[in-house]
Amino acid sequence: MIRNNTRNISFCTVTYNSEKEISQLIQNIESLSEGAFSVDVFIVDNGSQDGTIDIVKHCANLYSNLVLIQRKENKGFGAGNNAVLKLIQSDYHVLINPDVRVQSPAVIQGLIDYMDQHQDVGLLSPKILNVDGTVQKLFRHNPTVLDMAIRFISPNLLKKRQDWYVHAETGYTQQGIIEQASGAFMFFRTSTFKEIAGFDERYFMYMEDADITRKINNVTKAVFFPEVSVTHKWHRQNHSNLKFIGYNIRSMAQYFNKWGWKFF
């Protein structure tokens, strides 16, 4: 909803044992409301067993615009984000990981201004940086079986193909339609997020960001927007962990079963 002719931005973070990051993230988001927009903050916890809940409850006593949603069962990233679908009444909706930081209100204002001026765009993906300022190459094409396989095996295998997959030739300075945005930070038009009913909850983790970007591009446009950037610490999972290998393989099978098996 619009308050005093300003835009209202809702933020949603899904947490799971995120005590090391969540307080700083909440403070970061709350500081953004100094801009020409208001913010609402939703924290959806997927059954944390550390101090995350206590920290968020403490923050909720400090900030009246903060809502905690506790889920008894961890059904994954997508299902967690969908928990706010019926609650948000914002103009724009931000999905943000606990380890992402937004440097200033100007970042959000830049995204708002672009979306206000481009009604045919439903999702913006900004440039995402490492903490040292280098670019995370997340401007990606739709995945194929080949792309998933070679990136899983080695960052040096079929390097030209991997560079193509992440649009390395653009230097990450050019706007373009993005086919697979990163779930670390997504800036949705709220009406579009609701129109597509959010995430496909069949994915527990992995591939849900590729899936929702594809859903967006079916009804409107998803755009890579390098004019603004956010910082992402990017806590990678250990690919040698059998549990995460299993999640990855299952999600890839679900994705290709849904969208078609494109091998290369």
pLDDT one-digit tens code per residue, 194-252? 999 999 999 998 999 999 999 999 999 999 999 999 999 976 555 557 788 888 899 99
pLDDT per residue as tens digits for the range 151-165 = 888 888 999 999 999
What's the pLDDT at 1? 36
Residues pairing with 45 in the sheet: 15, 70
Query: Which tokens go with 245?
Result: 């290998």
Q: How many CB atoms lie within 10 A of CB 100?
A: 22
What's the pLDDT at 211? 98
What's the pLDDT at 92? 98
pLDDT per residue as tens digits for the range 77-113 = 999 999 999 999 999 999 999 999 999 999 999 999 9
Query: Tell me, what DSSP letter sits at residue 19?
Result: T
The whole-angstrom separation of Cα 158 and Cα 137 is: 16
Query: Which tokens go with 221?
Result: 């446009």
Average pLDDT over residues 16-22: 97
What's the pLDDT at 244? 81
The whole-angstrom separation of Cα 24 and Cα 30 is: 10
Average pLDDT over residues 4-29: 93
Quickly list DSSP for 126-193.
EEEE-TTSPBP---BPPP-HHHHHHHHH-TTTTHHHHHHHTTGGGTT-S-EE-SB--TTEEEEEHHHH
What's the pLDDT at 240? 58
pLDDT per residue as tens digits for the range 110-160 = 999 999 999 999 999 999 999 999 999 999 999 999 999 998 888 889 999
| Model confidence pTM above 0.85 | yes
What's the pLDDT at 67? 98
Max Cα separation, the chain?
Answer: 54
The whole-angstrom separation of Cα 41 and Cα 68 is: 9
What's the pLDDT at 7? 95
